[in-house]
Amino acid sequence: MFSKHLIIYGLLLMLIFALLGSGSYAVFYEELVVRWTGEGVINWERIAAICGWAGSPGPGESLWGYRIRSTWNMISAQMGMTAIYVGMMLIFYFLVRLVFWFTEKRTNQPS
């Protein structure tokens, strides 16, 4: 019913997706446990005490220094995410090309 190549492609795609999502499975499981048991509820007072100056200039920092730092953080975060996205797409592209290269029919052609 299914060809051997179609089954191999499907298994390779499932393996790729499993490898790409392997880090999120643990996070997903931990999130389920926290929601089921009720542990790990956010304590907003504790967060405010730890990050009291988040979103405003840090201790001893001028307003312009804060603005420059926050702008640079935003730009560098966007550049980093773009680089990661492009890298992942290139890896996926070359993996698909590799699968096709391994599975192509090789014929002896006279030269």
Same domain, 63 and 92: yes
In a domain, 31, yes or no: yes
Fill in the amino acid letter for 109.
Answer: Q
Q: What angle (nearest 5°) sits at the alpha carbon of residue 44, between those of residues 40 and 48? A: 130
Whether 82 is in a domain gets the answer yes
Residues 63 and 35 in one domain: no
Kindly state whether residues 31 and 65 are assigned to the same domain.
no
Q: Confirm whether 48 is domain-assigned.
A: no
Q: Which residues of 77-109 are buried (b: 16+ CB within 10 A; e: fewer)?
A: eeeeeeeeeeeeeeeeeeeeeebeeeeeeeeee
Domain tally for the chain?
Answer: 2
Asked if the structure places residue 110 within a domain, the reply is no
Whether 9 is in a domain gets the answer: yes
Query: Same domain, yes or no, for 29 and 2?
Result: yes
Instruction: Residue 81: give the domain boundaries.
Output: 58-103
Tens-digit pLDDT string for the chain (111 aa): 567 877 888 888 878 777 776 666 667 677 777 777 766 666 666 666 556 556 666 667 788 888 887 888 788 888 888 888 888 899 999 999 888 888 887 666 665
pTM: 0.40
